[in-house]
Amino acid sequence: MRFLPELEHVKGKKIRLTVKQRGDKERVHFSSSEKSRVGCERGVRLVSPSEDQPLRSIMSQWKQIQQLEMRLLEHVDYLYDDNFPMDIRQGLASWIESQDWDTAVSDESMSGVLFTNLLSQWEKLRSQEQNFLQRHNMKIIQQQLQLKYTTNPAVMARVISTCLKEEQRILSSACMQEQGPLEKSLHNSVAFERQKNMDNRVAIIRGSVQLMDQAVKYIEDMQDDFDFRYKTLQSRESSERNSDMMKQEVTRLQEMLNRLDFKRKEVLSKMDVLLKEIDDLMTSQLNPELQDWKRRQQIAAIGGPLLTGLEQLQSWFTLTAQSLFQTKRQLDKLGELIVKVTYESDPIPLQKPQLEEKVKYLIYHLIKSSFVVEKQPCMPTHPQKPLIIKTGVQFTTKVRLLVKLPEVDYQLKVKTTFDKDLPPGRVSRQFFILTNNTKVMDIEDYSNGCLSVEFRHLQLKEKKYINGTKGNEGLLSVTEELHSLSFEACFTVQGLTIDLETCSLPLVVISNVSQLPGGWASVMWYNLLTDDPRSLGFFGNPPRANWSQLSEVLSWQFSTFAGRGLNKEQLSMLGEKLLGQHSSCGDFQVSWSRFSKENIPGKPFSFWMWLDSILELIKKHLLPVWNENYIMGFVSKEMERALLKDREPGTFLLRFSESHLGGITFTWVEHSDSGEVKFNSVEPYTKSRLSALPFADIIRDYKVISDGVVPENPLKFLYPDIPKDEAFGRLYNSQPSKVHPYIPSTLIPISELRSNASTTPTTCRSPEPPMTPGEFDMLNEQLCFDIDSMSSPYSE
């Protein structure tokens, strides 16, 4: 089955995405003029779990993307270019989504295999194509991929991995009722209009410079004509100089010189105006656009929208630099002209030096600001948590020069330095780069020929101190100490020498993976609240964060690491847990200490440690269940009881434990013969239990022993009323053993419950680990349970 995407522009400024499916000729249209009629305000189709859940679960990510409204499809369209054509994403959608691109990014052999397989899959698809033109276009795409990635397939893996993650983020955000304040600030019509205006101004300047070329050429031709006539006049005999013809010729030469003087003044005046326009462009638009990109880079680093726009920035920088260098050549040409012809009050010698200084000044600042960190320092083992470096572990980073000119000396060496110019006493630990810290910038074929260099094998080592002391022991923790990585190079072009320097965003250096959660909290807090890349003393007095912004960042963590962000209700519960009663009082501010350092009242861990442990649990053990939206997750016990009390017996919901780090539990409702409502909660499952048995299988096989009664599974319906097997059937993993002549065995999770228990909600304790049927029979026959030892789930 194959899909051929077409983007059509139709009347009324509508954009229609047409998808043709071979065989049944299915056509799906999405128009910007019509809103999705399928239930989600932001355009993604949300189906009721009780109705179309099986269909949704098997729907590929790419098909879900196609059901977005046009406003979001435009963001998707922005992801795909020559680096990863949408044709390939469409044609090989299922195969692409089934590969582990994240691992391939840091595994060269795996990325090479995937690249070869992708080309093979594409060639197979191309051979089946009947349309000659389409087959030709597919061949060109294949050749472009081979040219770009044959020598470095890991780059392709990174591009595809990034696109897939951003698709997931777009799908996740589409289900939210509204964008958060941070994302709204990054995607708004004002930004798009600003960029259009920038395109227009750069194009006008380029046009003016081209016209200036013609004007200088006209002056040169005029001067050559004057020079020829003047020398001809001088060559005549002295006896002819008083003749009327000679006088007419002198008059004509004077007129030519007057016109030449006028044209020289006119060109110099236009150059002055042009340079003022370029100066204003750089000051009022180009530099702010660069700062905006750097800010978006910070937001992307902590899980925000995909960072885009660097290619556009490079285009603006390059076109502006080309205009300046062309103006410099025009001034050099004018300097050559005055060698042949000059005169009293000639404007070129008077104005040219000032204009040359202005051009050099603008070139200097343009190129100096074009030296940027394209990829912030990141350990390949933790690609989604940049800016955290562990000593002794390799990390990568990449710098780029946004000005692309043929005159550049390509032997541009870049040197890295750790904690350059760090004030003494600022940190208690000092580090140095253990590996080679100098590399030469090279041209990237896959990024339109820009100069860049990627350091792939940098490694830090802590300096040793005499007598075992580390010097100044500050009040900051290890994960609050901020460091930086500096990059230096010397740029030489057309006789101009420019010292380049830039630095990374502040880094957190850890020595043990147990410090990773705390380090990531620091990275999030810093990049949320400041855009200053050099504020290394930030945590000496960290500012507070507005809950509206912080909650958005927390939702990004779930969409980044778990594939689905948090909804309004889940964020509201988190706000109550962090802020108590204050969470309902507008946009309350949260202190750094309360978020990451202080323990939750009555608990031995902080709010962030609790939340991070849940993220790890989802990522490693609950991902399929989480992405099916089956885990309510963050719900208070009071709300849990309110939701379940009127439901059918056996209705249960899944929530994260508030008393355990990284625990998930389920609570179900029962009705006694007298009509009394009872709630039962199982002891939270942590990673140790979930490592033994998948969570969906636990739901399927869960049993309760009650006063010797035959064990039964009390879980019947996932809240609100989805039959258990309908919800989880596709997620069941373990199968009975088929090895003969042995009797098949299955791990069974069991809890103990006595019928004469208190009417208060009870916690069902599950043996650790789950038991085999034989063990279960022995337990059922021989053990006597002490129900008095059971505790209420609402005492957590």
Name every residue whose Cβ is closer than 8 Å to that of residue 609 and which is 6 or more positions away in sequence: 517, 661
CA pair distance 722, 699, nearest whole angstrom: 13
Q: Is the pLDDT of residue 11 over 70?
A: no
pLDDT at 749: 67
Q: Rounded to the nearest 10 degrees, what angle do helices 189-234 and 310-340 cross at?
A: 10
* Torsion angle of the four alpha carbons 540, 541, 546, 552, in this order, in degrees rounded to the nearest 10: -10
For residues 206 and 468, the model is more confident at 206
Instruction: Write the DSSP assignment of 611-629 as a string of letters.
Output: HHHHHHHIIIIIHHHHHTT
Q: Output the DSSP codes for 338-380.
A: HHH---TT-HHHHHHHHHHHHHHHHHHHHHHHTEEEEEEEE-T
Judged by average pLDDT, the poorest of 146-160, 336-350, 547-561 is 146-160
The rounded Cα 72 to chain-centroid distance in angstroms is 16
Structure tokens, 416 = 């890295």
Q: Which residue matches tokens 């013969």?
A: 673
| Whether 649 contacts 669, CB under 8 Å | yes
Buried b (16+ CB within 10 A) or exposed e, 671-702: eeeeeebbbbbbbbbbeebbeebbbbbbbbbb
Q: Fill in the amino acid letter for 205.
A: I
- Kindly indicate the confidence band of residue 325, based on its pLDDT and cuts at 50, 70 and 90: very high
Higher pLDDT, residue 440 or 181: 440
Percent of the chain with pLDDT over 70: 76
Least confident residue range of 19-23, 166-170, 357-361: 19-23
Higher pLDDT, 706 or 605: 605
Res. 584: pLDDT tops 70 = no
Three-point CA angle 388, 392, 393, nearest 5°: 55
> Please, is 732 exposed, middle or buried when counting C-beta atoms within 10 Å of its C-beta (0-12, 13-18, 19+)?
middle
Mean pLDDT, range 606-627, rounded to an integer: 90
- Other beta carbons less than 10 A from residue 188's beta carbon: 12
Tokens at 130, concatenated: 């009947």
pLDDT of residue 564: 81
Least confident of 84-88, 360-364, 689-693, 739-743: 739-743
Answer positive or negative: Cα dihedral of 531, 534, 539, 541: negative
Model pLDDT for residues 509-531, shown as the tens digit of each residue: 999 999 999 999 999 999 999 98
Residue 408 predicted with pLDDT over 90: no
Q: Nearest CA to 60 among 93, 91, 21?
A: 93
- DSSP assignments along 385-435, one per residue: STTEEETTS-EEEEEEE----TTS-S--EEEEEESTTPPTTS-S--EEE-S
**CA angle (527, 600, 658) in 5-degree steps:** 100
Rounded-to-integer distance, Cα 144 and Cα 137, Å: 11
Mean per-residue pLDDT over the chain, rounded = 78
Which band of pLDDT confidence, cut at 50, 70 and 90, is reported for residue 553? Answer: very high
Does pLDDT of 208 surpass 50? yes
Task: Indicate the Cα dihedral angle 544, 549, 551, 555, nearest 10°.
Answer: -130
Confidence at residue 202, expressed as pLDDT on a 0 to 100 scale? 92
The H-or-E segment that residue 14 falls in is strand 14-21
**Cα–Cα dist 463/472, whole Å:** 14
| Cα–Cα distance measured from residue 416 to residue 484, given in angstroms and rounded to the nearest whole number | 10
Closest listed residue to residue 753, CA positions, set 690, 716, 693, 702 = 702
- DSSP string spanning 750-778? EEE--TT--SS-EEEPPPSSPBPHHHHHH
Is the distance from CB of 670 to CB of 697 less than 8 angstroms? no
Q: Can you say whether the dihedral through the CA atoms of 231, 232, 233, 237 is positive or negative? A: positive
- Mean pLDDT check: name the lowest of 109-113, 180-184, 607-611: 180-184
| Residues 6 or more apart in contact with residue 469 via CB below 8 angstroms | none
Summarize the confidence of residues 550-572 as an average pLDDT: 86
Q: Mean pLDDT check: name the lowest of 107-121, 457-471, 543-557, 647-661.
A: 457-471
Map out the domains of the chain with their CATH numbers. 3-175 (1.10.532.10), 189-368 (1.20.1050.20), 370-540 (2.60.40.630), 545-616 (1.10.238.10), 630-795 (3.30.505.10)
Residue 743 dihedral angles phi and psi, to the nearest 5°: -75, 130
The 10s digit of each residue's pLDDT in 271-293 is: 999 999 999 999 999 999 999 99
| pLDDT of the residue at 238 | 67
Q: What is the pLDDT of residues 62-100, one digit of tens each?
A: 888 877 776 677 667 767 877 788 888 888 888 888 888
Residue type, 732: Y
* Whether residue 737 has pLDDT greater than 60: no
Residue 451, helix vs strand vs coil: strand
Between 4 and 471, name the one with better pLDDT: 471
Average pLDDT over residues 546-553: 90
**% helix, strand, coil for the chain, step of 5:** 50, 15, 30
Of 587 and 349, which is predicted with more confidence?
349
The DSSP secondary-structure symbol of 81 reads S
Write the single-letter amino acid at 320: T
Average pLDDT over residues 616-631: 87
Give the separation between CA 631 and CA 555, rounded to whole angstroms: 15
| CB atoms inside a 10 Å sphere around CB 796 | 17
pLDDT of residue 30: 34
Most confident range (mean pLDDT) of 6-20, 168-182, 755-769 is: 168-182
Task: Give the CA radius of gyration of the chain.
Answer: 34
Q: What is the pLDDT of residue 184?
A: 58
- The predicted structure's pLDDT at residue 410: 59
Structure confidence at residue 278 (pLDDT): 95
Tell whether the model's pLDDT for residue 422 goes beyond 50: yes
Q: What is the pLDDT of residues 478-505, one digit of tens each?
A: 889 999 999 999 888 877 888 999 999 9
The answer to whether residue 12 scores a pLDDT higher than 50 is no
pLDDT tens across 644-701, in order? Answer: 888 888 888 998 988 889 899 888 888 877 778 888 888 888 888 888 888 888 888 8
Length of the chain (residues): 796
Q: State yes or no: cis peptide before 769, omega within 30 of 0.
A: yes
CB 362 within 8 A of CB 373: no
- CA atoms of 88 and 125, how far apart (whole Å): 10
Sign of CA dihedral 567, 568, 573, 574: positive
Q: To which residue do tokens 């946009």 refer?
A: 587
pLDDT greater at residue 786 or residue 755:
755
**How many angstroms separate the Cα of 692 from the Cα of each of 689, 730, 749, 768?**
5, 19, 10, 10
**Residue type present at position 253:** L
**Parallel/antiparallel/unpaired status of strands 14-21 and 3-10:** antiparallel
Tokens of 349: 């010698």
Strand partners, 709: 706
